[in-house]
Amino acid sequence: MMYDPGYRPIYRGWLAYLERARASGETPVRLAIEREDGLVSVFDTIAPAKDGDPDGTYRMVERAVKFLLWSRGGWRVHFQGPAAIGRRLKADYSETGARAFDARTMAGVYEHPFEVALHSAATFPEPREAVHFPGGYLNGFRIGFDLGASDYKVAAVVDGEPVWSEEIPWAPGEQADPDYHYEHIQAGLKKAAAHLPRVDAIGGSSAGVIIRRQVRIASLFRSVPPAAFETKVKGLFDRLAADWGVPFEVINDGEVTALAGRLSLGDTAVLGVAMGSSEAAGFLDDEGHIPGWLDELAFAPVDLNPGAAADEWSRDRGVGANYFSQQAVGRLAQAAGLSFPEGMKLPERLKEVQSLVVRGNMPAARVFEQIGEYLGFTVPWYGVFYRFRNLLVLGRVMSGPGGKIIIDKANEVLRTEFPATAARVRLHLLDEKSRRVGQAVAAASLPEIQGARP
């Protein structure tokens, strides 16, 4: 690993763990995540029946729980398996435990006290999933927007074709006044509307967790005081919808990434990953439905190195945000010996590294090669939890020649290390414009106008 010699791909650890469990006699482990409206996602695995490494076993089961929690989302973890593992999970995912951030965050997102429930086979819950059709409505005069941490993208769309788009810089995470966010979004919508004879519908995506058009948690609003968040941020999109008086839908940016994949590829079973200020993800199943999972893979573990970089929010190590985002570029650029002016922020550092690649700078190119290596080792790990045959990768990190370097290296790793996965999964990189503004265009197709057909 060029710039990250301590990197320990979690999928390798997972395969070794399963082999050890089978070799020593296996016992079933059942995990389930319960979210809103009694929906339950179930995941089955194994643990060693005669365990010579209980700490190693707990580490892998806990990492699977963490991945499930942030991929599915929920306020309750159900566990059936060895009692010692269950007790440790219950302690760690508590207000005072090692995963207190995860427990507190999920409690806030789902507005329900968080808990780990221990079960026997008789009491373990049955799976209960729900799906919905994710937009794809193309008729009419529409506006689409995509809110990121360093810019927001807006597009005017006529019958599915963009007639105008723009990337507008802003600094939402630094602003304590929620009127700043409202006014900037409103200004962008008005700019798009000026390019249309009328507005029939508005669709948007936003970094963070959006449930039923309400903002539950998002780094875009991290400087807003809690009281103002409750009164002005949580219902921000409801307020905008009332202002415009047209069908108005907003979902998580990751879900729109997957929708962009379906619209551009003409296929389903899509896992979309957007590498921007953080890592966003979304999933469409084989039938083209969104399961309604959380898909916040920025917090999902990908590296078992105990000395891996710590996430700035959760303080957990080895999670996706530090591997598939501009944060990864900044970290690896430093390891590559690249220097930047004092005070230069991550978005500008990313642009500088991308510019260096264009100019033939090899250390800069190897930054993206390292991210491609991460991606190649992570694709089969994502496949443990998602059934996909198309992986769509987009976002600001994928702009320019660095994006192709990432995809080429990831494909090389897959062919060499995981040929079965390479034969089953295709990695897709959209054209340059679609990589940057494709989510805004896809978001425009979210609302249904009377009489529309997807």
pLDDT at 452: 46
Q: Which of 296, 267, 256 is nearest to 445 (CA)?
A: 256
In whole angstroms, how far apart are CA 320 and each of 124, 172, 175, 276, 302? Answer: 30, 22, 26, 12, 6
d(CA 141, CA 392): 27
Res 434: pLDDT: 54
Which of 296, 299, 165, 277 has the alpha carbon at shortest distance from 220? 277
Residue-level pLDDT at 453? 44
The whole-angstrom separation of Cα 203 and Cα 136 is 11
Tell me the domains of the chain and their CATH numbers.
Answer: 10-118 (no CATH), 141-250 (3.30.420.40), 256-439 (3.30.420.40)
Rounded to whole angstroms, the Cα distance separating 238 from 214 reads: 7
Of 237, 258, 260, 239, the residue nearest 249 (C-alpha): 237
Tokens at 248, concatenated? 């108005």
Specify the pairing of strand 151-158 against strand 279-284. unpaired
Q: Kindly list the distances between the CA atom of residue 210 and the CA atoms of 17, 40, 132, 256, in Å, as whole numbers in the listed order.
A: 35, 19, 15, 12
By the 10 Å C-beta count (0-12 exposed, 13-18 middle, 19+ buried), 26 is classed as middle
The pLDDT tens digits along the chain (454 residues) read 679 999 999 999 999 999 999 999 999 999 999 999 999 999 999 999 999 999 999 999 999 999 999 999 999 999 999 999 999 999 999 999 999 999 999 999 999 999 999 999 999 999 999 877 667 888 999 999 999 888 899 999 999 899 999 999 999 999 999 999 999 999 999 999 999 999 999 999 888 888 888 898 888 999 999 999 999 999 999 999 999 999 999 988 888 888 888 888 889 999 999 898 889 898 999 988 888 899 999 999 999 999 999 998 899 999 999 999 999 999 999 999 999 999 999 999 999 999 999 999 999 999 999 999 999 999 999 999 999 999 999 888 999 999 999 999 999 999 999 999 999 999 998 765 454 456 788 899 999 987 544 4
Token pair 């995470």 is at which residue?
A: 173
- Phi, psi angles (nearest 5°) of residue 315: 65, 10
- Number of Cβ within 10 Å of residue 451's Cβ equals 7
HEC per residue, 26-77: EEEEEEEEECHHHCEEEEEEEEECCCCCHHHHHHHHHHHHHHHHHHHCCCEE
Contact 73, 296 (CB under 8 A): yes
pLDDT of residue 174: 92
Q: Which residue has the tokens 């414009």?
A: 433
| DSSP state at residue 128 | B
Distance (Å) of CA 398 to CA 290, 374, 390, 421 = 24, 14, 17, 22
| The amino acid at 305 | N
